Amino acid sequence: MNTSNPFSPDLQPAKSLVQHHYAAMAAATPETIADVLAQTLHPKCHWYGMHPFYEQVGPNAIAETFWAPFLRAFSNVQRREDVFFAGLNEIDGFEGRWTCSMGHLMGLFDAPFLNIPATRKMAFLRYAEFNKVEKGQITQSALFVDLMHLMIQAGVNPLRAPQTGQHLVQPGPMTHDGLLHAPQDARESVKTLNLINTMIGSIDHANAASKPPTPQDELAENWHNDMIWWGPAGIGATYTIDRYIEQHQQPFRTGLSGRAFNGHLCRMAEGSYGAFFGWPNLTLTNDNGFIGVPANTNRADMRVVDVYRRSEDKLAENWIFIDMLHFLKMQGVDVLEELAS
């Protein structure tokens, strides 16, 4: 798969609109958040949220489902943004303009949230958000949050096995250059998107090959040796190609089978950064046990976000968000229900 959009789109209006939207949200309360959202979101904005929020339509439903409960639980919230960029969506033929924001929503965890007990201490809700901008409004939005990481901060461990990696408060890019408020060189954006697509293709080629390359050889084609894979709670982060293979790729490929790729809703890049998300990206079967859940025959979906940083001609960092609670629930494990009991 090769991408070559040589033109330079004007992404600045979309960026400005979303940053203005975030600034307005910073002053919102549980009582005013619906009105704040209505200033920027289209009345029929389609919102994709993780379990238990799911898909919602319109500012009122989005506010009632996620933002008002979140703001009742967290006070003095700060959006601590590490990555922000915009791009044209490859999936719709480079027609749609989207932004990607990633970081943490930090606040004082003062009241229970989804049966997760309050701590009255600082807490970090790791997030990635995509917004599609059309004619001065946000018409589609997707918000991924790492709820399992929030549980761990609150002293509730929903995991049924030790993480194969290490989950901490995931930092932003090592280069500290992830906030792309200014226009970027379109040629660099094309390089990043081409590399992401090549990497996706290499996975499919390795899976289909009669004599597959070694995992090290497969990864070395597109990744720096000192790559960092910032995985979600339940799996954790891992550093260098060899440790990534040991601590994530091998457990993932050993535990799960029947991988079906369902595609993406958005895939884009700007400058040295790129990202995609799907709904769902993958459908798999846990036939050998994975993250402590026993083997079963259920087909389960993974809704996934990948955010990438390219360094020269290879990928250097990759932040991952997975709707783990939905993936587990499809296998009969309802983590939020267990917290309520």
What is the identity of the amino acid at 119? T
Whole-number pLDDT of residue 168: 82
What is the identity of the amino acid at 227? M
Tokens 């949050």 locate to 145
Q: CATH class for domain 12-153?
A: alpha beta
End-to-end alpha-carbon separation of the chain, Å?
Answer: 48
Strands 223-230 and 299-302: unpaired
Which CATH code is given to the segment(s) 186-340? Answer: 3.10.450.50
Whole-number pLDDT of residue 1: 37
What number of residues does the chain have?
Answer: 341
- Distance, in Å, from the CA atom of 85 to the CA atom of 274, rounded to the nearest integer, reads 8
Give the residue extent of every domain in the chain. 12-153, 186-340
- Distance, in Å, from the CA atom of 324 to the CA atom of 302, rounded to the nearest integer, reads 7
Whole-number pLDDT of residue 2: 44
What global pTM score does this model have? 0.95
Q: Please give the biggest Cα pair distance in the chain.
A: 60
In this structure, the dihedral spanned by the alpha carbons of residues 35, 41, 44 and 48, taken in order and rounded to 10 degrees, is -110
- Distance, in Å, from the CA atom of 265 to the CA atom of 242, rounded to the nearest integer, reads 31
Whole-number pLDDT of residue 108: 98
What is the identity of the amino acid at 246? E
User: Is residue 283 a contact partner of residue 301, using CB atoms and an 8 Å limit?
Assistant: yes
User: Is residue 220 a contact partner of residue 206, using CB atoms and an 8 Å limit?
Assistant: no
Whole-number pLDDT of residue 286: 98
Q: Give 10-residue mean pLDDT values along the chain (341 residues).
A: 58 98 98 98 98 98 98 98 98 97 98 97 98 98 97 90 88 98 97 97 76 92 98 96 97 96 97 98 97 96 98 98 98 94 82
User: Is residue 279 a contact partner of residue 304, using CB atoms and an 8 Å limit?
Assistant: no
If we measure between CA atoms, which residue out of 47, 274, 66 comes closest to residue 142?
Answer: 47
User: Is residue 282 a contact partner of residue 262, using CB atoms and an 8 Å limit?
Assistant: yes
